[in-house]
Amino acid sequence: MATQAPKPPSPPPAVVRPADVNGGDSVVLERRTQKTKPPQMYQVVLLNDDYTPMEFVVVVIQEFFNKDRETATQIMLKIHLDGKGICGVYSKDVAATKVDQVTEAARRNGHPLQCVCEPIE
């Protein structure tokens, strides 16, 4: 059985109203504004604490947020100094999964590291 590829979303149709058709030689097209909003995005944030080792936080940021070692170290130090820091921005489901994965890894290793997500804008 042949499967069909999903169609990409098409732009809103322009409208031709009878009043816009002048003597058959010109047509006014009315542009419709896009009705679909982009989805709400969420930032995943790590919070500082006094007990989780710096090395563990760096590895978590590398593994779960796909950062290189240098970027992960910079983010960890920002959290250590400022109290919190953004590790990534995702759709709601992906952000919630990151929070669960990080929290599970922290508890499994006996660390109190806190990870939360918050809507942006």
49 binds ligand TYC (CB under 6 A): yes
Residue number, 30 or 55, with CB nearest to ligand TYC: 55
User: Given candidates 14, 16, 29, 54, which one binds ligand TYC under the rule CB under 6 A?
Assistant: 54
48 binds ligand TYC (CB under 6 A): yes
Tell me how far apart the alpha carbons of residues 81 and 83 are, in angstroms, rounded to a whole number. Answer: 6
Tell me how far apart the alpha carbons of residues 121 and 82 are, in angstroms, rounded to a whole number. Answer: 21
113 binds ligand TYC (CB under 6 A): yes
Stretch that binds ligand TYC, among 28-36, 51-59, 88-96, 99-107 (CB under 6 A): 51-59
User: Given candidates 46, 99, 102, 117, which one binds ligand TYC under the rule CB under 6 A?
Assistant: 46
CA angle 84, 78, 117 (to 5 degrees): 30
* Residue 77, number of CB atoms within 10 A of its CB: 14
Which amino acid, one-letter code, is at 118? E
Residues with Cβ within 8 Å of 18's Cβ and at least 6 positions away in sequence, in order, are none
Number of residues that bind ligand TYC (CB under 6 A): 13
